[in-house]
């Protein structure tokens, strides 16, 4: 797979996880001239309801010429017990057009997976109740998709995504689960429109978004919302009159949250020779704001070029996931106020990581990339054990 094709794939995965718009309208392999169909399968999220099991979700695809506009898609669901992963057929989902984007588990027998269906144009909500997955009706109308979900408890979940009208106009979408049904809500905490959610099953959430065009944040605890200061944007990134919200965000505890702002690469970095040197994880400046429950503290680090996800796990800390300059999967762990690289078995193969969760061990998910002997590129699901 060429550099352009792989970067295009990383862009669409990042869009699915972060942006919250209609992902199927993105031509994510750019100017790929191939006319043969190739597998385009990858995992976008993972959750562990207990130490005994984990679930990973994503999507399958067969793309002619590398164009997602004509790509046949299907949901991908995998289950781990005892360190072994098996593929599970998702309940109530058609094979064509559907995809699962995010998963969360507020209880040992209580998991929610969300996504969308490009064929039917309807948001997808799946519920695991300990013995089976069940399709749950989504309240949003056609042209909707859910890209992320987070739960503070079994009766307090929020799912975010987007809608798109026939005229092409897009809008944000926020849905709430109150323990008995899903409903559409306009905002939280007095008008805050969320862009990033991170909830803990202990009943706490920290939410980042925009209120009246300005960056804002709110904490959820004891069933109530409280306004808190938003993470400060790096110098030069804030746009006049617009809120700047970090694209990477996660909480491991009420007093341990990270919000990362991937900055543009340094001028000339692509042609400076760094790509061919041993320092493949540098070239971009990353500002990570740390939350201690009261205040944000920024930390600037020379960081990888292609960050995709930031995942936090209680007891296991926070991880930054993505791809190196040489197109290898990359995982970094937050330690002692900075990022430290963690090497996994797939570190020498082409691919990327998107999300991480910890049960009996920590698992990162994403995709492996390559080219077959006949020249056809492919992407296959990647599940990486990390300690």
pLDDT tens across 2-52, in order?
A: 333 333 445 444 333 333 323 322 223 333 333 466 788 999 999 999 999
- Name the 3-class secondary structure at 168: coil
Sign of the C-alpha dihedral computed for residues 290, 296, 300 and 305 taken in this order: positive
The full DSSP string for 51-104 is: TTEEEEEEEEEEEETT-GGG-EEEEEEEEEETTEEEE-PPTT--SSSEEEEEEE
Cα–Cα dist 338/366, whole Å: 23
Higher-confidence residue: 382 or 30? 382
Q: Which of 73-82, 124-133, 368-377 has the lowest mean pLDDT?
A: 368-377
Alpha-carbon gap, residue 379 to 67, rounded angstroms: 14
- pLDDT reported for residue 166: 64
Separation in Å, CA 172 to CA 46, 143, 164, 175, 198: 24, 12, 9, 10, 17
Whole-model pTM?
Answer: 0.83
Residue 265: pLDDT band with limits 50, 70, 90: very low
Using pLDDT thresholds of 50, 70 and 90, give the confidence band for residue 57.
Answer: very high
Conformational region of residue 368, where left means phi above 0, alpha means psi within -120 to 50, and beta covers everything else = beta
pLDDT tens, residue by residue, 179-197: 999 999 989 998 999 999 9
- Count of CB atoms situated within 10 Å of the CB of 30: 14
Q: Which of 237-246, 363-372, 376-385 has the lowest mean pLDDT?
A: 237-246
């Amino acid at each position: 797979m060429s550099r352009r094709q792989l970067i295009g794939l990383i862009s669409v995965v990042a869009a699915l996880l972060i942006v919250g718009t209609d992902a199927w309208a993105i031509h994510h392999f750019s100017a790929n001239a191939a006319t043969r169909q190739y597998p385009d399968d990858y995992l976008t999220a993972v959750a562990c309801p207990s130490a005994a099991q984990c679930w990973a979700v994503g999507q399958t695809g067969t793309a002619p010429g590398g164009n997602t506009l004509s790509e046949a898609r299907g949901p991908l669901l995998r289950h781990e017990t005892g360190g072994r992963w098996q593929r599970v057929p998702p309940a109530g989902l058609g094979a064509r057009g559907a995809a699962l984007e995010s998963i969360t588990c507020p209880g040992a027998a209580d998991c929610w997976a969300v996504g969308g269906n490009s064929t039917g144009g309807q948001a997808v909500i799946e519920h695991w109740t300990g013995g089976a997955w069940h399709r749950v009706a989504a309240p949003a109308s056609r042209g909707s998709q859910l890209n992320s979900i987070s739960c503070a408890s079994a009766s307090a979940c929020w799912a975010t995504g987007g809608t798109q009208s026939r005229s092409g106009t897009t809008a944000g979408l926020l849905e709430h689960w109150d323990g008995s049904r899903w409903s559409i809500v306009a905002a939280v905490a007095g008008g805050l429109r969320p862009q990033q959610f991170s909830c803990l099953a202990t009943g706490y959430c920290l939410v980042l978004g925009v209120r009246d065009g300005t960056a804002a944040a709110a904490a959820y605890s004891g069933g109530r919302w409280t306004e808190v200061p938003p993470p400060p944007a790096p110098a030069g990134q804030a746009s006049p009159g617009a809120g700047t919200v970090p694209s990477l965000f996660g909480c491991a505890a009420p007093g341990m949250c990270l919000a990362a702002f991937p900055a543009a690469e340094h001028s000339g970095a692509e042609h400076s020779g760094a790509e061919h040197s041993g320092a493949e994880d540098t070239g971009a400046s990353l500002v990570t704001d740390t939350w201690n429950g009261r205040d944000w503290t920024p930390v600037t680090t020379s960081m990888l070029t292609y960050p995709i996800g930031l995942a936090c796990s209680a007891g296991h800390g926070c991880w930054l996931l993505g791809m190196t300059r040489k197109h290898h999967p990359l995982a970094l762990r937050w330690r002692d106020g900075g990022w430290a690289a963690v090497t996994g078995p797939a570190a020498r193969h082409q691919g990327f990581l998107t999300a991480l969760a910890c049960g009996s061990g920590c698992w990162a998910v994403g995709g492996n990339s390559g080219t077959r002997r006949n020249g056809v590129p492919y992407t296959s699901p990647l599940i990486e054990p990390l300690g």
